[in-house]
Structure 1
Amino acid sequence: MLFLLAAHAAVAASLPWWQRRLGRTVWVVAALVPLAAVVWAGTRAARVLDGGDYRESLSWAPSLGLTVDLRLDALSLLMLWIVAGVGALVLLYCRYYVERDTGRLAAVLLAFAGAMTGLVLADNVFVLYVFWELTTVASFVLIAGRGDDREERRAARQALLVTTAGGLVMLLGLILLGRAAGTYRISGILADPPQGGAVSAAVVLVLIGAFAKSAQMPLHGWLPAAMVAPTPVSAYLHAAAMVKAGVYLIARLAPALAETAPWRPMVLAVGLTTMVAAAWRALRATDLKLLLAYGTISELGLLVALLGAGTRTAALAGAVMLLAHAAFKAALFLSVGILDRQTGTRDVRELSGAGRRMPVLFAASALAAASMAGIPPLVGYLGKEAYFETFLHGGSHLAGHGWLTAVLVAGSALTVAYAARFVQGAFGGRPGGPVARAERPEAG
């Protein structure tokens, strides 16, 4: 695990040098590192899925008792596959999409992938916090771009301020948890959860930080603003990786802390409110990336509610949705990038007939949107079946589970509506305007 982190850092630092010699092939070099992480995780999957784990530790400051503790278990295995798998695909996609500043962008994207890898493998609250903030810094650099555009700089500052402030609040909560438990190892805290008033205060602080990172309402504004970033950045950071950090932290702590007040009321209220309100806002968006951004916020709200509920059935449903969301949302963002590149617009009021003009892109996008809407037999359908099973039949012990189910139904109906709006707005009608003049995308 330490080798994987070192490989991300070393290759990221060398990519500008490689770019001067390889040109756009540098993206293939960058993609090899997360691909190696996927393969490495696959070789250890059998033991992890049987209930085992892998641990590594490196003394950082022995006199202060500070160590870099890493641990691979079932949850971190799933997250590593998402982070590394989607990361490799996005890096390969950039070979087609990115035309300037290649070496710098490749280096920062790979460094971000390394920071996310460290975050999901961390077994120490301080190590987790370091990687948490490294993802924030990388996100700031990627959103700001070259710093030439005022809107990009403004969006980058907003993302930096919200997520950094949330991270500091979260750190205070994690320290309180560690002091109450007598250990700063995350696995130690979960094995023997602490009790008391300080733990309740810690729960509130940790959840605020997680809500800020996962763009939960009312801390969501930075995510739609960040859509000014290049499409590959949006696909990776804001659909598959960075925003999942808050969801991951909630999933990691929920089995031990869900019964601690006010954990469960907070995650259910904030998550389900975000799910419905953001889905409604997605229906009004005319920019395809903005529509997907609000759809992402909505689905993150669902994930927060499922993975934070603290029950086994909810956790299983959340794991399925976590994987499904990373797959279909990354695919949709990358499809929008191709559409924008070929037509010069993402506005549904200007697009017409792209489905006839670009049938392969239309088929791939429609398949991803169908998964997002929960159409059988796709993975999104399995996730929806799982979470309805959770609250209809497995949630009788949750206060107000009938209302929770009603909110889930409303949110799911809105998801189907904005998925249909995406497909119709992007690909429906007869070719005209920018679409009629657009060239079909090439395979290579």
Structure 2
Amino acid sequence: RAGALVHECAGARAPRAPLGPTWGLSLEFTRDGLSGLYAALALGVGALVVLYSRAYMPHHLAEEGRPARDEVRFQGLMLAFMAAMVLLVTVDDLLLLFVALDLTTIISYLLIGFDREDPESRAAALLSLVLTGATSVVFFAGAMALGLQYGTFSLPRVMELAANSPASTGALVCLAVGALGKSAQVPFHFWLPRAMAAPTPVSSYLHSAAMVAAGVFLLQRLYPLFAPATEVRDGLLAIGFLSMGMGSLLALVADPFKRVLAYSTIAQYGYALVLVALGSEGAPLYVAIHAPCKAALFLTAGAVTQVTGKKKLSEVGGLRHSLPVLAAASAVAARASPRCPHRGLLQGRGVLPRAPRAGPAFMAAGLVGAGLSLAYTLRLWWASSGGRARP
């Protein structure tokens, strides 16, 4: 089960240092497999995106009429976000989890609104700040409720006590809301497409392998608390399938490159949410495969825009002839990204083998979601790289 996988290395913990003894706070970190996977993902994809931005940002700043020195600020914010993500996935204290969530919210606001002279960027950054900040506050309410229930904010201790006394449903719902807001799941999904106004490196990192991955990570980290709460997990399952369907349908009709990728991200993290709700051990592996592939698609989309000056699928075509390297790179990333739902990379741990346990409606939804993921991925690649070149 997912809970066993998340805590199979629970004994590998760093020393605990008191932070606020009278409040029961401690600076406590974990070195288990789940944290290691997400930390490696945040650092690895982040390092590649930072390298990419070294070539991308000078051109972007020149287009915006901004001084070259602004690149230093941009790189500093990217590294700060990377550090916040590593803090988020390694802390083992509920209140420190909230602090790390808020750090990612604040830094993402600065990154999404990096083009401060652009009204669209400022509006998108404000929407992201308000929505993800508000859901983080709801997460804080859940963390406080658990602290009052168990008399501690130490996550290992909370999970130990929860084995005999399950967490309150209200607290779990609050924690879930905080996670769903970060992962742009229905009904909190609408901030992510707007956030595509950010520079491409921001979209590539925050909105594929970092910020949206943080929400799914929280649910995996806290799964032992959710496991006994069947009603809450059923709710997460329904939201996951709804996000899969809505994101997929919007990805099939969207025109701007990055919006197609944003909607597909909503859909594919909906798939990850379904995996978590079903208790599948495949959820961490799915995110580990999806995030680098989606980051690569964002980066190739940004490269196409810089080379051609086009931002929409309807404006390009036949890139396999004019830009064969970029077309090949996008084909590799696109081929890998949707393989998990419909080709069985998870070796029986995906949605389709487990959906029958949830009922025929969920089985049908899993089949439809897998088909839609293939459809919008093929549309993205064929509209940009296949077909005939457009003037």
Any idea what SS the aligned residue of 2:162 has? Answer: coil
The 5 A counterparts of 1:223-242 are: 223-242=192-211
Partner of 1:14: none
State the shift of 1:334 in Å.
0.5
Per the TM alignment, residue 183 of structure 1 is displaced from its structure 2 partner at its CA by: 1.8
Tell me the alpha carbon deviations over residues 333-369 of structure 1, each in whole angstroms, 9 at most, x when there is no partner: 0110110110011211110211111111111110111
Number of residues of Structure 1 aligned to a counterpart in Structure 2: 375
The alpha carbon displacement at 1:90 in A equals: 0.5
**Aligned equivalent of 1:283:** 252
C-alpha distance in structure 1 between counterparts of 2:8 and 2:21, whole Å: 33
Q: What is aligned with 2:223?
A: 254
Instruction: Report deviation, 1:67.
Output: 2.1
CA contact (8 A) 2:113 2:125 kept: yes
Which residue number corresponds to residue 405 of structure 1? 363
- Matched letter for residue 294 of structure 2: K
TM-score, normalising length: structure 1: 0.80
Aligned residues of 1:372 and 1:380 also touching (Cα < 8 A): no
The letter of the residue matching 1:409 is: L
Shift of the alpha carbon at 1:426? 1.2
Question: Could you state the TM-score of these two structures normalised by the residue count of structure 2?
Answer: 0.91
User: Structure 1 residues 129 and 55 mapped into 2: Cα distance closer, same or farther (>3 Å)?
Assistant: same
Amino acid at match of 1:227: M
Change (3 A) 1:261 1:381: closer
Report how far residue 261 of structure 1 moved: 4.6
Q: In terms of mean alpha carbon deviation, does 131-140 or 361-370 score higher? A: 361-370
The structure-2 alpha-carbon separation of the partners of 1:383 and 1:263, relative to structure 1 and needing over 3 Å to count, comes to same
Hey, what does 1:325 align to over in structure 2?
A: 290
CA offsets per residue over residues 133-160 of structure 1, 9 Å max, x none? 0000000000111421111110001000
8 Å CA contact retained: 2:196, 2:203: yes
State the Cα deviation string for residues 181-209 of structure 1 (Å, max 9, x = none): 23211111222316779711111111111
Unaligned runs of 5+ in 2: 1-6, 62-69
Match of 2:330 in 1: 365
Q: What amino acid is aligned across from residue 18 of structure 2 in structure 1? A: S
Tell me if the contact between 2:318 and 2:387 (Cα under 8 Å) persists in the aligned partners: yes
Q: Find the aligned partners of 2:324 and 2:22 in 1 and give their Cα distance.
A: 63
State the Cα distance separating 1:296 from its structure 2 match: 0.1
Q: Which amino acid aligns with 1:317?
A: G
Q: Which residue type is aligned with residue 255 of structure 1?
A: P
Residue in structure 2 matched with residue 112 of structure 1 by the alignment: 81
SS in 2 for 1:425: helix
Measure, in 2, the Cα distance between the counterparts of 1:343 and 1:157.
Answer: 30
Percent of pairs with identical residues: 37
Match of 2:177 among 193, 196, 208: 208
Greater RCO (CA < 8 Å, at least 6 residues apart): 2
Decide whether aligned partners of structure 1 residues 380 and 327 sit closer, same or farther in structure 2, where only a CA change above 3 A counts. Answer: farther
Separation in 2, partners of 1:384, 1:416:
19
Deviation at 1:430, TM superposition (A): 3.2
Whether the 8 Å CA contact 1:356–1:430 is kept in 2: the answer is no
Q: Which amino acid aligns with 2:132?
A: T
Say which of 20, 28, 35 aligns to 1:69: 28
1:67 aligned counterpart, secondary structure = strand
Q: What does the per-residue CA deviation read over 1:367-408, in whole Å, with 9 as the maximum and x for residues that have no partner?
A: 1111123189xx97503853145415xx63x4x2x3222111
Q: Distance in 2 between matches of 1:347 and 1:224?
A: 14
Q: Which runs of 5+ in 1 are unaligned?
A: 1-47, 434-444
Distance 1:168 1:95, change over 3 A: same
SS where residue 30 of structure 2 aligns? Answer: strand
Q: Which residue of 2 aligns with 1:351?
A: 316
Cα displacement (A) at 1:244: 1.0
Equivalent pair of 1:180/1:195 in contact (CA under 8 Å): no
CA RMSD of superposed structures (Å):
2.1
Decide whether the 8 Å contact of 1:176 with 1:198 is kept in 2.
Answer: no
For residue 18 of structure 2, give the secondary structure of its aligned residue in structure 1: strand
